[in-house]
Amino acid sequence: MVARRAWVSLWLAAGAFCACGKPEYTIQRTLRAGAQWRYTLELQGEFQGRTDTLRLTYTDTVLSVQPDGSAMVERALLMPDPELRQLRAIAAPLGALNPKTRWRFFPDGKEQSLEPNAFAIGSFGYIYPDRPVRVGAQWGRLDNTGSLQVKYICQLEGIETLDGVRCYKIHTQIEPMPDSLPQTRGEMTLYVDAEHGWVRYSRGTLNMQAGELAGTFELQLRGAPVGEQP
């Protein structure tokens, strides 16, 4: 009996050691004055039997860093005027999409608009956990953008190398809140630069429905510091 108890104790201790022995990762965005990231986004949508593809490029430039670690950031859309007008019309129900906007970024991923009713294109604040996490850990975030209200359930799937850069691979499930309009469901896979904490790559599918109107959207985003090829 004593021997059996000893083996059970050793087995439990070994299990605890294996769980606690996994490294923890603090996933935060590094904010440094003068840093600039360039992104390309491709969005393909199928809506009422019609398929359209939209491509755009934008930059996020860190203008200054505040004592609390937050930063003032300028987001600039780099696209021809006709395409910009089309995109602004699409985004109008969710907010104003201007060629240049000012934002306050935080290390924990939160992005706060410094302009009224601005549409947060390319915002990925939901993927940053509020605590150090191990591979396999989950966390959740709620987001409200106008009438769009969704819940993000994220999981750190592992550490992988993307284009020679060490990244956190994060899977995100998107679920609608009861009063959200449109009702939005989907999933995303994102790669976050492990050194800088900025998103390097994202791909996913979104399904939106408002009454009898429904659409499916496939998106892909690539980003890199200016000076690299995104």
Q: Are 190 and 198 in contact (CB under 8 A)?
A: no
pLDDT tens digit sequence for 73-91: 999 988 767 667 766 666 6
pTM, two decimals, is 0.80
pLDDT tens digit sequence for 147-196: 666 788 999 999 999 999 999 999 999 887 777 666 778 899 999 999 99
Does the bond joining 182 to the residue before it have cis omega, within 30 degrees of 0? yes
Q: CA-CA distance, 66 to 214, in Å (whole number)?
A: 43
| Helix, strand counts (H, E) of the chain | 2, 11
